[in-house]
Amino acid sequence: MNFSSFKLHPQIAAGVEALGYQIPTPIQKQAIPPVMEGRDVMGLAQTGTGKTAAFVLPILERLLPGARNKVRALIIAPTRELAEQIHTSINDLGRKTHLKSMTIYGGVSVNPQITKLRAGVDIVVACPGRLLDHINQKTINLASLEVLVLDEADRMFDMGFLPDIRRIIKQLPVKRQTLMFSATMADDIRKLAHEVLHDPVTVQVGHTAPANTVAHALYPVEQHLKTGLLMELLKHTDTESILIFTRTKHRAKRVGQQLEKAGYKAASLQGNLSQNKRQAALDGFRDGSYQILVATDIAARGIDVSSISHVINYDIPDTTDAYTHRIGRTGRAAKTGDAFTFVTREDEPLVRSIERVLGDKIERRTLKGFDYTKAAPARDAEFARPPRESQRRRTQPKPEQRGAQASHAGRPKTHSAQPQRGTNAPRGAAPASHPTGAARTFKPRTHRP
């Protein structure tokens, strides 16, 4: 089967050709025909399966004839990065159609969005919060809407967007086509599907297991040796772009800084960055100026860099679904990729659940020549981080007024874990629980060191 069997309009087929897609992916084969027939579709597919084109192509096909400069398609996505990525796909696939797409999300000025909406667009890709603001302010007119897409619905649940989504849907024309995509079919997704989809066709690929173009490996390691192991692994591995996941924003920032210090072209992406800095990190990673991006799950959602050769879980994710999502960033489409996960003894139960989902045991590896016996420092500075937001509000002035917070006492003395004086003042970093259950120490400081 190739794309010609969808009988796409030549202007849309030109976009497919320009991107070099030759064979539709399984989700595209299954979803494009019913979506083109106008049916509601529930798509169970993870990132990396080609699900974006599965809804973008039929939307372009539907919107090509008919009125212009009215919002006729609305795609709701959980994160700005995913929204930007979908918008890029629309522009790439629809390059010859002259249909206009725009993104709407928070954290950036609202005025340019209002200007674009006033000038007229055909497709809006939006995150729920800011979209709701526009609806409430009547700066967006959705009366002509024909197609609604809820992308990564499971993520939107995780991020607490469900009430916003329900409010948005109430404002949309009842007569419309609705498509919903999710990596999982948890009970709440099933419930929402029941509420918003009319007589849907369900299509499913890959269940919740990650794409099988990915090779998985576990690296058992003590918590305090992770950074050292990472450095050693990078030295001995042939890589293109690498995406590294940490559990907390603070750790993403710190590991990014340590990599930079060690001479790597690395950036970190975490929720505390301004929109401009996030965009610069993402653009730099996409165009190869940064080879390594260190990110938290939320910050990394939707990242699509086709040359990602390795995903490294510096910290194992909290759930098997999060593992699937992270790993979805490599081995995309026809490419293959490696997924390395650092695991401590405490992570074993989660490893077993991931293995159950994969249907296979994951290979355990030890890195030759790496000193796994090095003792932990007397006091592990890694966990001497600021208290949770609520605690800080009681004890401290505003985050911007504070200097560096993390105590440097007792840092491991390896080359890869040098203190980063004055640079690690996380704003609102959500600390992870201590994996060993040991008490964290924190001494509030109100002056710069």
Q: Residue 209, by phi and psi: left (phi above 0), alpha (psi -120 to 50) or beta?
A: beta
* Residue 52 touching ligand AMP (CB under 6 A): yes
Q: Are 426 and 250 in contact (CB under 8 A)?
A: yes
Segment contacting ligand AMP (CB under 6 A): 24-32, 95-103, 106-114, 216-224?
24-32
Q: Which is nearer to ligand AMP, 25 or 208 (CB)?
A: 25
Q: Which of residues 306-335 bind ligand AMP (CB under 6 A)?
A: 306, 332-333
State the minimum distance, in angstroms, from the CB of residue 11 to ligand AMP.
18
What residue type is 382 in one-letter code? E
Using CB atoms within 10 Å of the CB of residue 328, give its burial: 0 to 12 exposed, 13 to 18 middle, 19+ buried: buried
* Residue 208 touching ligand AMP (CB under 6 A): no
State the minimum distance, in angstroms, from the CB of residue 210 to ligand AMP.
12
Segment contacting ligand AMP (CB under 6 A): 20-28, 70-78, 228-236, 387-395?
20-28
The C-alpha angle 89, 43, 67, rounded to 5 degrees, equals 50
Among 6, 25, 313, 322, binds ligand AMP (CB under 6 A): 25
Q: Which is nearer to ligand AMP, 51 or 87 (CB)?
A: 51
* Residue 55 touching ligand AMP (CB under 6 A): no
Segment contacting ligand AMP (CB under 6 A): 17-25, 401-409, 424-432, 434-442?
17-25
| Maximum Cα interatomic distance, the chain, rounded to a whole number of Å | 70
Q: Are 266 and 260 in contact (CB under 8 A)?
A: yes
Among 34, 48, 228, 337, binds ligand AMP (CB under 6 A): 48
Among 31, 42, 51, 385, binds ligand AMP (CB under 6 A): 51
State the minimum distance, in angstroms, from the CB of residue 23 to ligand AMP.
6
Among 30, 47, 97, 341, binds ligand AMP (CB under 6 A): 47
Q: Which is nearer to ligand AMP, 18 or 23 (CB)?
A: 23
State the minimum distance, in angstroms, from the CB of residue 306 to ligand AMP.
5
SS (H, E, C) 116-178: HHHHCCCEEEECHHHHHHHHHHCCCCCCCCCEEEECCHHHHHHCCCHHHHHHHHHCCCCCCEE
Segment contacting ligand AMP (CB under 6 A): 45-53, 99-107, 182-190, 243-251?
45-53
* Residue 223 touching ligand AMP (CB under 6 A): no
What are the CB-based long-range contacts (under 8 Å, 24+) for 251-257? 251/314, 251/315, 251/382, 251/432, 252/294, 252/295, 252/296, 252/299, 253/294, 253/424, 253/426, 253/429, 254/420, 254/424, 255/227, 255/230, 255/294, 255/314, 256/292, 256/294, 257/420, 257/423, 257/424
Q: Name every residue whose Cβ is closer than 8 Å to that of residue 366 and which is 6 or more positions away in sequence.
A: 219, 220, 372
* Residue 49 touching ligand AMP (CB under 6 A): yes
Q: Which of residues 253-312 bind ligand AMP (CB under 6 A)?
A: 304, 306
Q: Which is nearer to ligand AMP, 148 or 231 (CB)?
A: 148
* Residue 130 touching ligand AMP (CB under 6 A): no
State the minimum distance, in angstroms, from the CB of residue 104 to ligand AMP.
20
Task: Specify the DSSP element, H or E, that contains 84.
Answer: helix 80-93
Segment contacting ligand AMP (CB under 6 A): 50-58, 168-176, 272-280, 282-290?
50-58
Site for ligand AMP (CB under 6 A): how many residues? 16
State the minimum distance, in angstroms, from the CB of residue 377 to ligand AMP.
41
Q: Which is nearer to ligand AMP, 47 or 309 (CB)?
A: 47
Q: Are 125 and 80 in contact (CB under 8 A)?
A: no
Phi, psi of 268 (to 5 degrees): -120, 150
Q: What pairs with residue 75 in β-bridges?
A: 125, 149
Treating both helix axes as pointing N-terminal to C-terminal, what angle do 320-327 and 348-358 enclose, rounded to 10 degrees?
A: 60
State the minimum distance, in angstroms, from the CB of residue 116 to ligand AMP.
24
User: CA-to-CA distance for 255 and 106, rounded, in angstroms?
Assistant: 27
Segment contacting ligand AMP (CB under 6 A): 16-24, 95-103, 158-166, 433-441?
16-24
CA-nearest of 55, 407, 46, 441 to 214 is 46
Among 15, 50, 256, 317, binds ligand AMP (CB under 6 A): 50
User: CA-to-CA distance for 123 and 292, rounded, in angstroms?
Assistant: 33
Q: Which is nearer to ligand AMP, 1 or 378 (CB)?
A: 1
Q: Which is nearer to ligand AMP, 93 or 343 (CB)?
A: 93
Using CB atoms within 10 Å of the CB of residue 287, give its burial: 0 to 12 exposed, 13 to 18 middle, 19+ buried: exposed
* Residue 43 touching ligand AMP (CB under 6 A): no
The C-alpha angle 189, 193, 198, rounded to 5 degrees, equals 175
Residues that bind ligand AMP (CB under 6 A): 21, 23-25, 28, 47-53, 304, 306, 332-333
